Structures are given as structure tokens and as C-alpha cells.
Amino acid sequence: IMGIGHRVKSINNPDMRVQILKDYVRQHFPATPLLDYALEVEKITTSKKPNLILNVDGLIGVAFVDMLRNCGSFTREEADEYIDIGALNGIFVLGRSMGFIGHYLDQKRLKQGLYRHPWDDISYVLPEHMSM
């Protein structure tokens, strides 16, 4: 499930970014039906495995949908159109782009080549019956 799960964080070792954002959304958004739903899903997933928590990307996604649908600036149809065309994907691309630029500038400042993660840690091997 996209937005659920973390490699390191778990129900016993929570991601404080998620808690801070969740508290902010609950305090400042007029309604949070999708966040409420995601937290109910999290109860089910963490009962199966403790690291199947609502992750920061999942929380940001549901928070933005709740904001679009409930802020009063858009009709439900307008909000859903923004969601359907993938407008929220830009937020995730933007965040990763800024992170990449930060890493690039750090490596330049340190006069090091651009860091490359070990290939065997990032490569995906397709099952034999599938090909690209």
C-alpha cells in the first residue's frame, strides 16, 4: 500500500515528522476524513507488522487531499480533478528535487564526486517470467 510502511521507523519507534504533521493537520484543517481513514488502515497494518505505519509521504498525501476537499476554496469536483490529473505528484517531485540539489551542493562543497548508493542495494530484479 503506497504511503504505508517504513524501513526503520515502526509503531514502537515512530517517525516524529509524521506526528508533528498529524498534530498540525488535526489542529488547523477544517475536516480530516481521509487522514482518519488512513489512521484506521494503519491500525490494521501495524497489527500485522509493526513497521507498516503511515509514513510521511502517506500523511502528506492524505493531508493535501483533505485540504483540497475541505478548505472551501474548491468545489469537490475541482478538488477531485486536481487529484485525478496528478497535481499532487508535483509536491513529491519538488521535495526530492530540492533534496537532490542539496546533496549535489554538499558534494561539490566537499570536493567529492556525486555519491552513488551501492547498486545491489537499489537494483530491482524482475521475476524471470517478466521483462521490461
- pLDDT per residue, tens digit, the chain (132 aa), is 889 999 999 999 999 999 999 999 999 999 999 999 999 999 999 999 999 999 999 999 999 999 999 999 999 999 999 999 999 998 889 988 999 999 999 999 999 987 778 877 776 666 776 555
**HSE, side-chain direction, 13 A CA sphere, residue 128:** 0
For residue 62, count CB atoms less than 10 angstroms from its CB and return exposed for 0-12, middle for 13-18, buried for 19 or more.
Answer: buried
